[in-house]
Copies of this chain bind each other. A is one copy, B any other.
């Protein structure tokens, strides 16, 4: 088993934190996104989507998409459970993870990719060259604040996003909060529950993964 990884990108970090929380040791293969390594013919044969992370499983199949990799590792290594322990907790975790995945992540990505000169012509991940749209910077900020407002409520009510224990949804959220700092968006300002939660999450050894 090997993880195709890039140290300085938020999605691979989700998987690295998950691996650390599971106390696993999985060899890594660095894919240099700065050198466009994700678009090399060799890597596109592994993941036609041209994104990292990708897990090469022991049976030789490739799994892309961070959450699918995490779910696979959960199946192989159920302890500690990070996807819930019954139908109800599982549903809440999938719900919040999906909100993070479809609302939080794209908001920050949209700002960065339409703002940073490094993403000129690369406004979306993957193979296509797409031009930046400056109006998306402000829209992204509105979306991001709407998303962070939304997570403040459950974090005010329980220690973690989906209840009393850590789940994969917290890992996804932490990477989004820290990713927001890349574009100078302070997610925790004015959100005391999110602030306390981020400090608690950042103090876990896994946060450095």
Binding site for B on A (CB under 8 A): 48-49, 57, 59, 61, 63-65, 67-69, 71-72, 75-76, 86-88, 90-92, 94-95, 98-99, 101-103, 106, 123-124, 126-128, 130-131, 133, 135-136, 139, 142-143, 146, 150, 153
Contacts and interface: CB of A to CB of B under 8 A. Distances in A.
Contacts of A95: 63-65, 68
Given A68-B94, A68-B95, A139-B133, A75 B59 contact: no
Given A49-B99, A130-B142, A76 B68 contact: no
A139 B123 contact: yes
- Label chain A's interface by main secondary structure: helix
How many copies of this kind of chain does the complex include? 2
Given A87-B76, A102-B106, A67 B49 contact: no
Contacts of A130: 139, 142-143
A91 to B, nearest CB: 4
A61 B106 CA distance: 27
A61 B92 contact: yes
Nearest to A106: B106
Which of A64, A88, A131 counts the most B-chain CB atoms under 10 A from its CB?
A88
A89 to B, nearest CB: 10
Given A64-B95, A67-B94, 11 more contacts: A49-B150, A59-B88, A61-B92, A63-B91, A65-B98, A101-B101, A102-B106, A103-B126, A128-B142, A133-B136, A133-B139
